[in-house]
Amino acid sequence: MFDFTLELESKECNARLGRFSTPHGEIKTPVFMPVGTKATVKSLDHKDLKGLGTEILLANTYHMEMRPGSELVAEMGGLHKFMNWDGPILTDSGGFQVYSLNDSVKISNNGVEFQSHLNGDKHMFTPEHAIAVQERLGADIIMAFDECAPAGVSEKYARKAMERTHSWIKRCIAAKTRDDQALFPIVQGSRFKNLREESAKFMAELDLPGVAIGGVSVGEETDAKFQAIDYALPFLPKDKPRYLMGVGTPDDLLEAVERGIDMFDCVLATRLARHGAFWDLDGRHDIKLSRYKKDQTPLCEWVDHYASREYSKSYLHHLTKENEILGMRLISMHNIAFLFQLMKDIRYHLKEGSFMSFKTDFLNRFHAND
């Protein structure tokens, strides 16, 4: 049911091509996964996502449990039916919110007490509860509950969070009852080489359908992020998909694919779009700038999508300045399509044996105006 087929390993680097089967379809890797935190990729519907070529998307366990509640979603037929999406879905466990909402959480060995960002009510998330919520939501891939430590913590703090994460994955495995969901553990260990290696070895020995690397988009510098990844990767199984959580800039995707990562997610593409920022081959830009007021060129003809090719920057400048929803929708679709086009080209060049030259050329142009 959850078979990973490794189709090609690059002779230039550690990059690889694969396929991962799920109950709702097959995923070609490496793959970028758009984030629909609250069961929606903001401003886009399922036809938009299909038109973009989305293979798998995410929803967030914490936010879905806060509202509308996993029991209601289950009553409505599960997350796929609720949001009218028939492709694969991955749900985060709520572990990232342990980091992002750290001012309103209390962490213990039993779990994490959240104070709801909606109304201040207290909610206890244990590993068992995180699994139960995800089973009610019904995603194809579910994540273990973990403690995502912030950047800059001491080794003592990082070890305690890692050991707690190791304890919690055992409880997640014991609590899991559905065979049609793949549970991924999450490697932690902050910036410390010995901890990352220890955590990677521990998670690999569990022999679960895939494995994730977490705690690398929590405020650290880029070099530290990839150093933490490099510490873990040699100890992860080659015959399982490797998921790097919370990473989604063009630079990071290329760097991580080179290292052998298969799956990525990030809210950045749509978050940037809501503020008028877009990517093209020459970098990141702000459509609100006056220089786009009379620019009749499209966002990026390299991208094979109507949002990228069929609307002028002048029109999108106008929509964004007027806070029109259509502007948000079109730039959101473009930014996602840009990353999908990048992943498509990455897969092509891996097959052709030219990935490293493609990466160099892409990044040289992308950063030429920095």
79: its two tokens:
């997350």
Active site residues: 92, 265
Contact 191, 220 (CB under 8 A): yes
Q: Which amino acid is at 307?
A: A
CA dist 234 → 12, 197, 345 (Å) = 17, 8, 26
Pairing of strands 263-266, 31-34: parallel
Q: Express the helix, strand and coil content of the chain in percent, nearest 5 each.
A: 45, 20, 35
CA atoms within 13 A on the CB side of 203: 40
Contact 296, 313 (CB under 8 A): yes
The residues near 122 (Cβ < 8 Å, ≥ 6 apart) are 113, 114, 115, 116
Adjacency order of strands within the sheet including 57-60: 57-60, 89-92, 141-143, 182-184
Q: What is the distance between the alpha carbons of residues 278 and 292, in angstroms, rounded to a whole number? A: 12
Q: What is the distance between the alpha carbons of residues 48 and 54, in angstroms, rounded to a whole number? A: 9
56: its two tokens:
């798998």
* Helix 193-204 × helix 155-175 angle, to 10°: 10
SS3 284: strand
Closest by CA to 276, choosing from 211, 335, 192, 204, is: 335
Contact 147, 107 (CB under 8 A): yes
